[in-house]
Amino acid sequence: MARSVLVSGGCGFLGSHLVDRLLRRDDVEKLVVVDNLWTGTKDNTAHIVDPRFSLQIVDAESFSASDRFDEIIHLASPASPVWYMREPTRTIRANIGGALNLLSLLRPGGRFCFTSTSEVYGDPLVSPQPENYRGSVDCTGPRSSYDESKRCTEALLFEQQRVGDLDVRVVRLFNTYGPRTRIDDGRAVSNFVSQALTTGILTVYGDGSQSRSWGYVDDIVEGLERFFWRDSISHRGPLNIGNNHEVSVLETARFISSLVPGSRIEHHPPTPQDPTNRCPDLTMARRVLPGWEARTGYQDGIARTLEWFRRQIASKQ
């Protein structure tokens, strides 16, 4: 059956990779990307030559259309603390307002997919974090616009499913990195890589002992693809998707610095409420998505990302 699909945030880092994969599907007859280019760029979809694809430059919370969609994938939201902490109201509007508006564009019985985040676990008191861990989030803290709007959107979708005819798929993504991140994105891996290649000074906030589990984009988008568009899956989420190999931020910076001779690390004061650890419990993901695994090691993924950033920087000179 021919399907029409809407992706909000499709000009962003993850969204643009997902769009590439959607266009490989024979059953997709129309693919509309809704993006206001806040943190995304048109460059991320500039390579697409496909009559099924169109881009609407507009806020997800105000986009309107006469047709209804069979599948909606809602990614519109900054993911970098630098960007969402700068404009918290806009972040809340993108997540919750975007979901409320896009739900009205779903055809009855359609599927609504949402990228929530490991940030719903806050500064976790258990490690690794399973989906049934309720988290440790400060609802008035500096990260709350992001954490709480993701939590509220999860609530909206699961409650709509409980009372209505809605097929939801909700993932909680852990830190993902790779090509097509902005140079000024501000998240740790992209920051270290772009700093190493430009100023040569990698800024580590705090002592760098905080841990992260870096997922390479191809692995993570493969997980999204399997979960979001396989009809045979009955689990609706939330589902952790990430790499469960934990690495300290300092070790990551040291590795990146070792790839760029002459670069060095500088410590800056810690950022407020930076989680001390992050590691997905993937028991559920292995059950729901048999055979899927985030296989790319951080050394390999970072080396590929560094090469992409190197080419980007060279092309802009």
User: How far, CA to CA in Å, does 179 sit from each of 13, 283, 317?
Assistant: 8, 28, 19
Q: Which of 41, 43, 35 has the alpha carbon at shortest distance from 63?
A: 35
29/246 Cα distance (integer angstroms): 40
Nearer to ligand NAD, 78 or 110 (CB): 78
Strands 211-212 vs 247-248: parallel, antiparallel or unpaired: antiparallel
Applying CB under 6 A, the residues found at the interface with ligand NAD are: 8-9, 11-15, 34-40, 59-61, 75-79, 94, 98, 115, 117, 173, 175-176
Nearer to ligand NAD, 78 or 301 (CB): 78
Instruction: Report DSSP letters for 31-64, one per residue.
Output: EEEEE--SS--GGGGTT---TTEEEEES-TTT--
Q: How far is the CB of 129 from ligand NAD (least distance, A)?
A: 13
Q: How far is the CB of 302 from ligand NAD (least distance, A)?
A: 14
Nearer to ligand NAD, 8 or 211 (CB): 8
Q: How far is the CB of 202 from ligand NAD (least distance, A)?
A: 19
Q: How far is the CB of 223 from ligand NAD (least distance, A)?
A: 12
Beta partners for residue 177, in sequence order:
216
- State the Cα angle at 213 between 6 and 36, rounded to 5°: 30
20/8 Cα distance (integer angstroms): 14
Catalytic residue among 84, 121, 146, 177: 146
Nearer to ligand NAD, 97 or 208 (CB): 97
Query: Is 216 tagged catalytic?
Result: no
Q: Which of 120, 244, 108, 135 has the alpha carbon at shortest distance from 170?
A: 120
200/196 Cα distance (integer angstroms): 4
User: How far, CA to CA in Å, does 40 sit from each of 34, 37, 58, 176, 182?
Assistant: 11, 5, 12, 15, 8
Nearer to ligand NAD, 263 or 280 (CB): 280
Q: How far is the CB of 242 from ligand NAD (least distance, A)?
A: 8
User: How far, CA to CA in Å, does 20 sit from each of 23, 52, 296?
Assistant: 5, 12, 20
Nearer to ligand NAD, 173 or 197 (CB): 173
Which H or E run contains 106? Answer: strand 106-117
Upper half-sphere CA count for residue 206 (Cβ side, 13 Å): 14
Catalytic positions are: 146
